[in-house]
Structure 1
Amino acid sequence: MRAAPFTIGLLAMTLAIAGCSGRETETAEGPEAEATAELEIHRPFRRGPGSVNSYWIEGPDEILVFDTQRSIALAERVVAAIEATGKPVTAIVISHYDPDHFGGLQAFTDAFPDAELLMAENVAEQIGRDLSGYVERLRETQGDEYRAPPEPTRFIEHREELTVSNVPIVVHVLTDTEAETMAMLAIPSERAVLASDLVANRMHPDVVDADIDSWPRALNRLTRDFSGFTLYPGHGEPGPVNLLAANQIAYLSFVRGRVEREILADDVATEEEINAAISAIRANYPDWENVTGRPAQLRRNLEAIVAQLGGELESEQEEDGEAEVVEG
């Protein structure tokens, strides 16, 4: 069944679930949209540092959830909004191994035990191995009530077709972008693509696990394959694919160029150079928040790019020199 003209439905609550449908009606709590379409995309989020998008796609008789917020408390507010529809959640898709996208998963699996849990095979392996310590960090921050994500019901694959109320939703599994493996969801009939962290709109992305060479190429492919679509990013407001992808490429180019020209002229990144680069990024992108909500995110980003470009931190050189003296 083909969906009717698309409407984006957004809720407004403390979590700030906002919305647009071509036109918006402002209320005391935030914008609301008339639910007139056969499918609605809901974007739960909260404003400020660490703001992250999860989405739920609502059809006439079922709901699919895409990512599950960074904490159980935030996820429970989304769950309450979904439960108010009276419709079953039939699938929960986790896009990639970043804690802000699966941290609240157990709130959904507890509330909707019959829903399929879907993710790419490599994402499941990364969560299970937890080499970056993300699951352990969630356990530390959320306390004893936190449970590690369960095994998925099954793995999703590139170009696999899911449906919500018989409307096709196509899975796209990307590799070596912002994350090692990341799933996007495209709704061709509605010209919509849920791109997860391939794009952070007007927020500083987390590049610690990124491949800064292939990520821009993936963004160019996104523009080519989904020109004219609306892009729903992992962080920030939705917008045209071409604009949001171009802005993300420009950001990555600016930061990389700063590292290459100002930091790695001699292959060594000094503390002074790192601090100057942070100041330059903030000056060029004023009022942008960090997607992780962590004050040190820009520093960690720059250190990761230095390492990926084959450079070295001055502090690492000093540590190596001390080790040589001790060994000698």
Structure 2
Amino acid sequence: MRAAPIFIALSAIGLALAGCSGGQSGAEDEAEATATDSVQIHRPFRAGPGSVNSYWLEGADEVLVFDTQREIALADRVVAAIRATGKPVTAIVISHYDPGHFGGLQSFMEAFPEAELLMTEDVAEQIGRDLSGYVERLRETLGEDYRMPPEPTRFIENREELTVSGVPVIVHVVSDTEAETMAMLSIPSEQALLAVDMVANRMHPDFTDADIDSWPRALDRLTRDFSGYTLYPGHGEPGPIGLLVANQVAYISFVRGLVEREILSDDVATEAEINEAITAIRSNYPDWESVTGRPAQLRRNLEAIVAQLGGELEADREEEEDGNEAADG
């Protein structure tokens, strides 16, 4: 089932470094900042599985935080780097319902209690309902130290204009892509789009909550609406929007094709077929880490696509058949 590699190589992008260190498993953190005329886009970064991007936009006299890391420990290090600027954090924006993007929120709220907490109404509702158990998982991990995300100061809406030291920052809300609802930020003066999990650059994205039909269409719209922009992804390195979008669309198409051709020819996904598909993905995308850091992520991705395409897992079918036999007996 090995397919010819379809990844489009990404050229190296030079980024100015700002001090911020730490991480887990001995990995070294790097905080990368892109210098602009009026706003600096900082990307606290830790390489390896489960690495996630959050950003902080530094203006002349204030800071806006966009997403708050996965873990309290790493969030604390980002907080320390922001404090070193001596500038107040006036807003914290949460992009979507994903623990990698709001897991460290309490560290930021404790450090910057005067900051507005902003998110869309849908994202606030999803965090409150916690249907995927993300908040509960954080509570189990952190125990008594964990506090539930607070209610937002206010809701943000599509096309709303925020500012950082007078520089316009535009909210763009997209639905039914990698997540049910997601807020991106663009900085028109810098031709920069903070696209969060619309793109994972050279990392396996998470398909658990994804809509694989509408997600590629939304990605195509990005290249038209933000032509010439630099895309800052939710995971991995920033780069030219056309290149990163093309790579993400190709990845979705490749994995979906495996499911359609190799797994669901008879509408049932067997264990052997899923294992072969995982091998093919790893072969086609060697050295890529998973965005969640969970060993079973590729399996969960394939199972999610099987369900979305109307198939079923062999184990689920056998369990249903056993239940039916027991009822008949």
TM-score (norm 1): 0.92
Q: Counterpart in 2 of 1:108?
A: 108
- Alpha-carbon distance in structure 2 between the residues aligned to 1:91 and 1:18: 20
Query: In structure 1, what is the Cα distance between the partners aligned to 2:300 and 2:217?
Result: 23
Of the three residues 11, 22, 28, the one matched with 2:19 is 11
Q: Distance in 2 between matches of 1:248 and 1:277?
A: 18
Q: Equivalent residues in 2 for 1:59-138 (5 A)?
A: 59-138=59-138
How far the C-alpha of 1:18 sits from its partner, in A, is 3.5
- For 2:20 and 2:82, locate their aligned partners in 1 and report how far apart those are by CA, in whole Å: 13
Q: Is 1:8–1:41's contact at 8 Å kept on the other side of the alignment?
A: no
* 1:169 and 1:188 in contact (8 A); partners too: yes
Residue aligning to 1:281: 281
TM-fit CA distance, 1:59: 0.3
- Structure 1 residue ranges without an equivalent (≥5): 1-6, 22-34
Q: Which residue of 1 aligns with 2:7?
A: none
Correspondence for 2:164: 164
Give the letter aligned to residue 19 of structure 1: E
Paired residues, number: 309
Cα displacement (A) at 1:12: 4.2
1:268 paired residue number = 268
RMSD of Structure 2 on Structure 1 (CA): 1.2
SS at match of 2:46: coil
| 3-state SS, counterpart of residue 132 of structure 2 | coil
CA–CA separation in structure 2 for the residues paired with 1:11 and 1:101: 21
Percent of aligned pairs sharing the same letter: 76
* Equivalent residues in 2 for 1:307-318, closer than 5 Å: 307-318=307-318
Consecutive unaligned residues in structure 2, runs of 5 or more: 1-14, 24-28
Tell me what 2:185 maps to: 185
Once the two structures are TM-superposed, the CA of residue 36 in structure 1 deviates from its matched residue by 6.8
Deviation sequence 1:146-175 (CA, Å, 0-9, x none): 101000000000000000000000000000
Following superposition, the deviation at residue 97 of structure 1 comes to: 0.1
The answer to whether the Cα contact below 8 Å between 2:20 and 2:77 also exists between their aligned partners in 1 is no
Aligned match of 1:252: 252
Cα deviation for residue 269 of structure 1 reads 0.2
Residues 9 and 40 of structure 1 are in contact (CA less than 8 Å); yes or no, is this contact kept in structure 2? no
Provide the C-alpha distance between the structure 2 equivalents of 1:10 and 1:270, rounded to a whole number of angstroms: 48
Asked whether the equivalents of residues 36 and 190 of structure 2 are also in contact (C-alpha less than 8 Å), the reply is no
Residue deviations 1:4-42 (CA, integer Å, cap 9, x gap): xxx866434224234365xxxxxxxxxxxxx67321000
Q: How many angstroms apart in 2 are the aligned matches of 1:165 and 1:78? A: 20
**Structure with the greater relative contact order (CA < 8 A, sep ≥ 6): 1 or 2?**
2
What secondary structure sits across from 1:227 in the alignment? coil
Q: Distance in 2 between matches of 1:8 and 1:39?
A: 13
Deviation at 1:45, TM superposition (A): 1.8
What's the CA shift for 1:280?
Answer: 0.1
Q: 1:110 to 1:118 in 2, by over 3 A?
A: same
CA distance in 2, matches of 1:190, 1:205: 27
Contact 1:8-1:40 at 8 Å conserved across structures: no
What's the TM-score, normalizing by structure 2? 0.92
Secondary structure of the equivalent of 2:30?
A: coil
Q: Amino acid of the residue matched to residue 272 of structure 1?
A: A
CA deviation string 1:49-78 (max 9, x = no partner): 000000000001000000000011110000
Secondary structure class of the residue paired with 1:19: strand
- Alpha-carbon distance change, 244 to 324 in structure 1, aligned in 2, over 3 angstroms: same
Runs of 4+ in 1 over 4 A off after TM superposition: none
SS at match of 1:228: coil
Map of 2:12 onto structure 1: none
- In structure 1, what is the Cα distance between the partners aligned to 2:211 and 2:36? 41
Q: Distance in 1 between matches of 2:294 and 2:142?
A: 17
How much does 1:134 deviate? 0.4
Query: Could you tell me whether the CA contact under 8 Å between 1:201 and 1:244 is conserved in 2?
Result: yes
